[in-house]
Amino acid sequence: MPSEFFDARATLECGQIFRYEKLAENRYAVFSADKSCLLCTEGDTTGIYAQSCDAQYFFNFFDLSTDYGAIASALGVYGELDEAIKIGKGIRILRQDLVETIVSFIISANNNIPRIKKIISRLCQLAGKRQDGYYAFPTLDEMYLMTFADWQSIGAGFRDKYLFETVRALKETDVIERIRSGQTVTKTLLSLKGVGPKVADCILLFGLHDMAGFPVDTWIFKKCRTDILDTPAKVHDYYTERYGKYAGLAQQYIFYGAKEQSRN
Distances (CA, A) of 119 to 178, 193, 233: 28, 18, 29
Q: Exactly one of 89, 198, 222, 245 is catalytic; which is it?
A: 198
Which run of H or of E encompasses 49?
A: strand 45-50
Report d(CA 190, CA 109) in Å as an integer: 14
Q: Which residues pair with 38 in a beta bridge?
A: 29, 49
Q: Which residues pair with 24 in a beta bridge?
A: 27
3-class DSSP string for 107-166: HHCCCCHHHHHHHHHHHHHHHCCECCCCECCCCHHHHHCCCHHHHHHCCCCCHHHHHHHH
Report d(CA 220, CA 256) in Å as an integer: 10
In the chain, which residue ranges form alpha helices assigned H by DSSP?
A: 8-12, 55-61, 68-75, 82-88, 98-108, 113-127, 140-144, 148-153, 159-172, 175-181, 185-190, 197-207, 218-224, 232-243, 247-263
Residue 198 annotated to the active site: yes
* Contact residues for 121 (Cβ-Cβ < 8 A; gap 6+): 135
Q: Which positions are annotated as active-site residues?
A: 198
